[in-house]
Amino acid sequence: MRDSKTANDLRGLEPAAIALKLAAMRAPDAVDALDTLDHPTAVAVLEAMPFEFAVHMFDEAGLDHPHEIIALLPEGLAEAILGDISADRRVDIFRKLSEGDRQRLAKGLTEDVEKSLAQLLTYPRSTAGGMMTTEFLTLPPDMRVEDALRHIKEVAREKETIYSIYIVDPATQRLIQPISLRDLIMAEPQAPVGSIVPRREPLTVSPLADRIEVSALISKYDLLALPVIESSGRLIGIVTVDDVIDAMVDETTEDVQRFGGMESLDAPYMEISFPKMMKKRAGWLAVLFLGEMLTASAMQHYEGELEKAVVLTLFIPLIMSSGGNSGSQATSLIIRALALGEIKLRDWWRIALRELPSGLVLGSMLGSIGFVRITIWQQLGLHDYGEHWILVALTVACSLIGIVTFGSLSGSMLPFVLKRLGFDPATASAPFVATLVDVTGLIIYFSIAYAILQGTLL
Amino acid sequence: MRDSKTANDLRGLEPAAIALKLAAMRAPDAVDALDTLDHPTAVAVLEAMPFEFAVHMFDEAGLDHPHEIIALLPEGLAEAILGDISADRRVDIFRKLSEGDRQRLAKGLTEDVEKSLAQLLTYPRSTAGGMMTTEFLTLPPDMRVEDALRHIKEVAREKETIYSIYIVDPATQRLIQPISLRDLIMAEPQAPVGSIVPRREPLTVSPLADRIEVSALISKYDLLALPVIESSGRLIGIVTVDDVIDAMVDETTEDVQRFGGMESLDAPYMEISFPKMMKKRAGWLAVLFLGEMLTASAMQHYEGELEKAVVLTLFIPLIMSSGGNSGSQATSLIIRALALGEIKLRDWWRIALRELPSGLVLGSMLGSIGFVRITIWQQLGLHDYGEHWILVALTVACSLIGIVTFGSLSGSMLPFVLKRLGFDPATASAPFVATLVDVTGLIIYFSIAYAILQGTLL
């Protein structure tokens, strides 16, 4: 949360004075304050603060434009910071750097760091490999507990976490067993670390596993970190719970925005540029508009009927929106149940068997309300729906049953279809479902009208 | 994720044999397997397994109906389990117990446990107090590091976490400073624990803080646990990161379901009973239907115009849905930005100033597409929109600009209005926005039609 008060406090101060204020804050708050400054000032402040603290700034995921700021820093300082920050953060920054800056700044890294960076860069950002850090704590199985504790004390500073400890084969780096610092502390000082917890197949992921899979495992097994292993069994990194939380927040934002019928912004609302936001919104809006044009075509097809019975047009918005609403309910239910793993792709027919009666019940409810509404208006003289008003009311009621049932069914099946085709089911946005149901809804309405009103109005 | 394979494996086995299989699994997997059994079998299995492991089963948040199963267990076993599980889990189970079972089972608890339970039960489930556990690790500030480590080794088993350690005033239980086990391990053995980390105001929440606030703090500061303190400063509990992850998953599910236009289910899709699901869906669907009835009233109002110019009806679905889609985009953007704290209530006018040009740009885009579509159809002879077709196309284009602008503006302002009124902005579901925009959209359309077509078609 940006605090405009902090921004005001810093305004007009010298970089050195700002650096002093920032160094007294918690790193995430200092980063928020740094983000309120323009880039040249931010650079001057970073140069003025103790090196250790500048490293902390770049270690925070909350820093808004780390790649732009690091590129403006004096080369020596930039390289020193990039050498010192955590491996997963370094990769995030390098991913965003321009090709030129990337080559320029990579030159200053040690060979080890460069190798780890090159390896991490091969994995897409939303995979376990793209989220993991290579700074984890390993122990050989025959080390004694008291020696292990002494070793941990020495290396603690360089590791992302010391609470998850990995016992690996020293020759092959294959993961034998993860243990926790808690296990270690509670164990006999003389015992070899490989013997203090009963062995079982460790929970691991491959580097190409999606971040959703990583979150699901961390969440189900209450882990603080999850080891990432190659197919050979070699331990190459760990994903820690704080990165998983950040990924979950990102994922939710993407889902909400996509469900709202747009591309995900990938940036805070107030920060994204106007043209960029237009691009993210215009695409889907135009696609949905082209889809909805089919409603105009459908209406044209029934223009003759419409001229004979203008009364039918009165209920078109009501009927269409009911189909869209029931579809949107069903879709949101199924998207979420699929995301949580409550249902699987092969369960589609069980869902269909649930949504069919759901649609019939909900449609009958709305149909009854609609029928009563027309009857009351007619009887009280609020509006005259013509001599065949009962048939009109019946048409509306039957159409509502048909359309709500169709909406519930197609809304619930769409996420399955998308998943089967390899898309994220969350792409089944509410507007998408509504568009699908609108066109079919018109056809259902006019077909039922034709059946009921033939010989009278039509 | 339920595995039907596991269920098949267990079918037909004796409870003792099932207990043996379960005890070899990880607790979360064993709980999934237990959930596939009927209650009487589950009870027999729990009785047959080692007591320690039965406690683990009830410690898992994944167990589906812990309150029903515990009520069926022999009283002695039930009381022993309830006495041994973690405090936050115990409270979850007691919350769901019937009044009779609650009184019956509370009798078997020790006085301490009963007191902690009674205290935790006073906080609503979605607050820090409702999520916290009372089993945290405290140290007096003058204890030396080596003594602290020895103490931790002894009490580790009873604590929810030993990685977050709380230095409290022994007389008042006021929180002085949270430190981490990592700090402790890296410190000089002879130093007093209160001196190893520089002091600053600790990050804390009050017991009535919403779980969203708790998640935001844990996520921003990468915490493993957050202390909960009374207004006096007394430490009364901690919320751990695993509970926050569970809360985040719940919160996302609720948001998605509400955004889909229904009450949140509070239960997995395949498990909730049919009548219960109907209740959750029918309410909002009926409310939205009653709202959409205003469209019928609006249409009735313009019936004279409709009879004169049936051609206008052809574009009603297209125009209405465009308003709904643009509103849904804007709402989803703002709901999420508010949830992430990227924007505040007082920023509403800055959003309005952004959504107004957004709506105009997007509306002009759709308006142009619409105009071109009508022109092409007319020129190619695909449909005859009458002699005044250019005026009709102009009406459609202008209406789209007006409606998309109105949709973007009202869709973005609605979450602010809801938040200001004390509701969760996430209640601004896509169907709700669409309904709001539909009625206004018709009025905009007919007003523009009247202005442009007066004297020709109307």
CATH of A137-249, one of 3.40.1640.10, 3.10.580.10, 1.10.630.10, 3.40.50.11710: 3.10.580.10
For each of chain A's 458 residues, which pLDDT tens digit applies? 445 566 667 878 899 999 999 988 999 999 989 988 999 999 999 999 999 999 999 999 889 889 999 999 998 999 999 999 988 899 999 999 999 999 898 888 889 889 889 989 999 988 999 999 999 999 999 999 999 999 999 999 888 899 999 999 999 999 999 999 999 999 999 999 999 999 989 999 999 999 889 998 999 999 999 999 999 999 999 999 999 998 888 888 888 888 888 888 778 888 888 898 898 899 888 988 988 888 888 888 888 888 888 889 999 999 999 999 999 899 988 988 888 888 888 989 999 999 999 999 999 999 999 999 999 999 998 888 888 999 999 999 999 999 999 999 999 999 999 888 888 787 767 788 888 898 899 999 999 999 999 888 77
Q: What is the pLDDT of residue A2?
A: 45
Bridging pattern class, strands B164-168 and B137-139? parallel
Give the DSSP H or E segment for A434. helix A430-453
Q: What is the pLDDT of residue B4?
A: 53
Per 3-state DSSP, chain B is made up of helix, strand and coil in percentages (nearest 5) of 65, 5, 25
- Residue A112 to residue B143: CA distance in whole angstroms: 41
Distance from CA of B281 to the nearest CA of A (A): 7
- B336–chain A Cβ distance below 8 A for any pair: yes
Cβ distance of B221 and A26 shorter than 8 Å = yes
- Residue A296 to residue A299: CA distance in whole angstroms: 5
Which class in CATH covers the domain with range B274-453? mainly alpha
Q: Is A340 left (phi over 0), alpha (psi -120 to 50) or beta?
A: alpha
Q: Which residue is closest to B338 within chain A, CA to CA?
A: A269
- B241–chain A Cβ distance below 8 A for any pair: yes
When CB atoms are compared, the residue of A292, A341, A435 closest to B1 is A341
Bridging pattern class, strands B225-229 and B235-240? antiparallel
- Best of A2, A241, A248, A256 to substitute, by most chain B Cβ atoms within 10 angstroms, is A256
| Residue (of A160, A163, A158) closest to A178 by Cα position | A163
When CB atoms are compared, the residue of A149, A332, A362 closest to B260 is A332
Q: What is the pLDDT of residue A64?
A: 86
User: Is residue B378 exposed (0-12), middle (13-18) or buried (19+ Cβ within 10 Å)?
Assistant: middle
- A265–chain B Cβ distance below 8 A for any pair: yes
When CB atoms are compared, the residue of A26, A186, A370 closest to B153 is A186
Residue B432 tokens, joined: 């709700």
Q: Which residue is closest to A262 within chain B, CA to CA?
A: B329
**Do residues A396 and A367 lie in contact, with contact meaning Cβ atoms separated by under 8 Å?**
yes
**Helices H / strands E in chain A, number of each:** 21, 5
Bridging pattern class, strands A137-139 and A164-168? parallel
User: Taking the CA of residue B202 as centre, how many other CA atoms within 13 Å lie in the half-sphere pointing to its CB?
Assistant: 26
Measure CA A167 to chain center.
Answer: 33
Q: Around Cβ A221, how many Cβ atoms within 10 Å? A: 16
**Residues of A numbered 384-423 whose beta carbons fall under 8 angstroms of chain B's beta carbons: which are they?**
404
**Do residues B283 and A257 lie in contact, with contact meaning Cβ atoms separated by under 8 Å?**
no
Domains B137-249 and B274-453 share a fold: no
| Residue (of B305, B319, B343) closest to B451 by Cα position | B305
Cβ distance of B343 and A262 shorter than 8 Å = no
| Residue (of A214, A220, A88, A232) closest to A161 by Cα position | A88
Phi and psi, residue A91, nearest 5°: -70, -40
Q: What is the pLDDT of residue A7?
A: 65
Strands (E), A185-254: 225-229, 235-240
| Residue (of A297, A288, A266) closest to A430 by Cα position | A288
- Indicate the domain borders of chain A: 4-122, 137-249, 274-453
DSSP string for residues in A155-197: HGGGSS-SSEEEEE-TTT-BEEEEEEHHHHHHS-TTSBGGGSS
Phi and psi, residue B307, nearest 5°: -65, -35
**Do residues A328 and B431 lie in contact, with contact meaning Cβ atoms separated by under 8 Å?**
yes
Q: What is the pLDDT of residue B343?
A: 87
In sequence order, the 6+-apart residues with CB closer than 8 A to the CB of A59 are A27, A85, A86, A89
- A204–chain B Cβ distance below 8 A for any pair: no
Residue A99 tokens, joined: 């090709």
- Residue B307 to residue A457: CA distance in whole angstroms: 15
Q: Around Cβ B171, how many Cβ atoms within 10 Å? A: 7
For the domain made up of A4-122, give the CATH fold. Answer: MgtE N-terminal fold (1.25.60)
CB burial of B144-167 (b: ≥16 within 10 Å; e: otherwise) equals ebeebbeebeeebeebbbbbbbbb
A–B interface: beta-carbon pairs under 8 A: 343
Cβ distance of A252 and B255 shorter than 8 Å = yes
Q: Which residue is closest to B246 within chain A, CA to CA?
A: A219
For each of chain B's 458 residues, which pLDDT tens digit applies? 445 566 667 878 899 999 999 988 999 999 989 988 999 999 999 999 999 999 999 999 889 889 999 999 998 999 999 999 988 899 999 999 999 999 898 888 889 889 889 989 999 988 999 999 999 999 999 999 999 999 999 999 888 899 999 999 999 999 999 999 999 999 999 999 999 999 989 999 999 999 889 998 999 999 999 999 999 999 999 999 999 998 888 888 888 888 888 888 778 888 888 898 898 899 888 988 988 888 888 888 888 888 888 889 999 999 999 999 999 899 988 988 888 888 888 989 999 999 999 999 999 999 999 999 999 999 998 888 888 999 999 999 999 999 999 999 999 999 999 888 888 787 767 788 888 898 899 999 999 999 999 888 77
CA distance readout (Å), B61 to A209, A340, B28, B67? 25, 15, 9, 12
Q: What is the pLDDT of residue B178?
A: 96
Bridging pattern class, strands B225-229 and B164-168? unpaired
Q: Which residue is closest to A189 within chain B, CA to CA?
A: B153
- B286–chain A Cβ distance below 8 A for any pair: yes
- B329–chain A Cβ distance below 8 A for any pair: yes
**Do residues B29 and B36 lie in contact, with contact meaning Cβ atoms separated by under 8 Å?**
no
The DSSP output letter for A205 is B
- A222–chain B Cβ distance below 8 A for any pair: yes
| Residue (of A242, A149, A240, A139) closest to B186 by Cα position | A149
Distance from CA of A103 to the nearest CA of B (A): 31
Residue type, A20: L
Place of tokens 């491959």: A206
In sequence order, the 6+-apart residues with CB closer than 8 A to the CB of B252 are A248, A252, A255, A336
- Best of B158, B255, B285 to substitute, by most chain A Cβ atoms within 10 angstroms, is B285
- Residue B438 to residue B207: CA distance in whole angstroms: 43
Helices (H), B60-187: 66-72, 75-84, 87-96, 99-106, 111-121, 128-131, 145-155, 181-186
Q: What is the pLDDT of residue B5?
A: 61
Cβ distance of B438 and A321 shorter than 8 Å = yes
- Residue B396 to residue A279: CA distance in whole angstroms: 23
Q: Around Cβ B203, how many Cβ atoms within 10 Å? A: 14
